[in-house]
Amino acid sequence: NAGVMQNPRHLVRRRGQEARLRCSPMKGHSHVYWYRQLPEEGLKFMVYLQKENIIDESGMPKERFSAEFPKEGPSILRIQQVVRGDSAAYFCASSPPPGTSYEQYFGPGTRLTVT
Amino acid sequence: LAKTTQPISMDSYEGQEVNITCSHNNIATNDYITWYQQFPSQGPRFIIQGYKTKVTNEVASLFIPADRKSSTLSLPRVSLSDTAVYYCLVGDSNSGAGSYQLTFGKGTKLSVIP
């Protein structure tokens, strides 16, 4: 059973370009979460999605950032008109339907560098 | 979510038992305590979760006193490969939407020395 897959692992973008980060959850998981981690910091929650539904986007910046989890295909985190401050590691996690466990399964992350 | 406080860093020699304590004075009745481990350039990995007293799995033990205002992650006989950042998280896993919005602090950076 493959784990959470993220691609690309490394992404370099110039200021003003768009960044697209992809996440395929573990098989059987219908809940996806995106987190951002700055150097020497803990992960910060961005958004929680289920298939075709954004459940909680309270951690997403109001502008330039969007996320989707279509019926078919991976979840996408899109950052438009990137700025240097967007440089960070972006992690995706997935979990099975709601239960009593607080366990989320994380992918290896995408390291975004904005030049 | 309750705020957690843990040491910024710890050093240990190989083969020793390591105990990392986390304070969570404002823990709520429904909150669980969960620990994650993160290696450099990797995503966090779930280690253990508990509500009260003691929980043990193949990786670690979690000790929670009766007042639940703190918890201690215990790693038996650490090896070099246990060098990582360890995060203590406290939250309600039984919310209506299930488990989501994990809140990570800066964690404890454990360095295992040969």
| C-alpha–C-alpha distance, residues A78 and A21, integer Å | 6
Closest CA to B110 of B85, B74, B78: B85
Q: Do B97 and A55 touch (CB under 8 A)?
A: yes
Q: Of the candidates A35, A43, A101, which has its C-beta nearest B49's C-beta?
A: A101
Confidence of residue B96 (pLDDT cuts 50, 70, 90): very low
Q: Classify residue B34 as exposed, middle or buried by CB count within 10 Å of its CB (0-12, 13-18, 19+).
A: buried
Q: Do A106 and B98 touch (CB under 8 A)?
A: no
Has residue B101 got a pLDDT over 80? Answer: no
On whether the CB atoms of residues A75 and A25 are closer than 8 A, the answer is: yes
| Total CB pairs under 8 A between chain A and B | 81
Average pLDDT over residues A52-75: 94
Confidence of residue B98 (pLDDT cuts 50, 70, 90): very low
Torsion angles phi and psi, residue A7, rounded to 5: -150, 150
On whether the CB atoms of residues A82 and A112 are closer than 8 A, the answer is: yes
Has residue B109 got a pLDDT over 90? Answer: yes
Average pLDDT over residues A11-40: 94
Average pLDDT over residues A69-76: 94
pLDDT digits (tens, 9 = 90+) for A43-54: 999 999 999 999
Q: Which residue of A has its CA nearest to B32?
A: A102
Distance of CA B6 to the CA centre of its chain: 9
Q: Of the candidates B91, B96, B105, which has its C-beta nearest A42's C-beta?
A: B105
